[in-house]
Amino acid sequence: MNSSTSNESHQSETRKAPKAGGDFNDFCKMLWLKLSRQVLQPIQTVGAHEHQVLLNAAGASLARRGALDEVGEPGRSLWVPFSKALGLIGMVVLAMPLGAKAENTRPTELRLDFEATASGPAWVAQNDDVMGGISKGEAEIKDGVLHFTGTLSLDNDGGFAQVEIRNLDHDLSGKKGVKLRVRGDGRTYQLRLATNALFRGSRIAYWAEFPTRAGEWTEVNVRFTDFKPSFRGDILDGPPLDVSRVEEMGFLISDKRTEPFALEVDWIRAE
């Protein structure tokens, strides 16, 4: 339906203005119904930050959707006392606990292995071709192991290769860091994490380095306190890593050695 047809239909509706006395209850019921549908129900599925935003928008939302228009001019005179009551309701709702589901719906354990039957987000390449470089890096899961392989190139101001998984959305509060079993080529790699933190509208990358031994399996511990915030290669002053909102993870190499690299990962755990 187009907007003009919608407006004509809206204008042609017959509205019944509330009368004094009993119809005040109808007016209140109508506004309460809109409040519960537009504000209170969404609050059950959001966190504390969005909680405040929704309540702040309640009055504007009701006005935009024509709540007062539906009750006519007499109903408008009732809005002032009702809006005060609405404010009190908002204060009560803010004081209420958000409930177990709203407080934490994210997994709190992170254990990634690479068995053929394991399900989870796919690993994808994110190399320097996004800025004109020609480095190559890819991820392949084979025989229960993640293989990160490729070749670096410094042409066109490039020089890094990366693979990552997205949509993790884990809460790792209470964990000290990430432990992984790897076999490398003697080169140094980065473990990278991302949260919902942004800088200039893009995600901040948090990274920490770990060494490898050529041809040897080793277990590496990377502490959360060692992760540095960065944006496009530049170190930022903050914010610090929020481990309650870990949404992405990856591996990156950028040691300026223009030769093939190879990193194998047996498993990854947050501990």
Domains annotated for the chain, with CATH where assigned, are 3-103 (no CATH), 111-270 (2.60.120.430)
Q: Is 205 left (phi over 0), alpha (psi -120 to 50) or beta?
A: beta
Q: pLDDT tier at 75 (50, 70, 90 boundaries)?
A: low
Distances from the Cα of 64 to the Cα of 13, 33, 59, 237, angstroms: 18, 15, 9, 41
Of 42 and 163, the one with more pLDDT: 163
Helix (H, G, I), strand (E, B) or coil at 2: coil
For residue 93 the two structure tokens come to 């709702």
For residue 91 the two structure tokens come to 């204060």
End-to-end Cα, the chain, rounded Å: 55
**pLDDT at 20 > cutoff 90:** no
Question: pLDDT tens-digit profile of 172-223?
Answer: 999 999 999 999 999 999 999 999 999 999 999 999 999 999 999 999 999 9
The kind and range of the H/E element at 267 are strand 260-270
Task: Please give the Cα distance from 35 to 6 (Å, whole number).
Answer: 23
Exposure class string for 185-223: b at 16+ Cβ within 10 A, else e: bebebbbbbbbebebeeeebbbbbebebeeeeeeebebe
DSSP state of 211: -
Question: pLDDT tens-digit profile of 240-269?
Answer: 999 999 999 999 999 999 999 999 999 999
Contact 78, 27 (CB under 8 A): yes
Contact 197, 229 (CB under 8 A): yes
Beta strand 177-183 with 260-270 is: antiparallel
Contact 160, 252 (CB under 8 A): yes
Of 120 and 170, the one with more pLDDT: 170
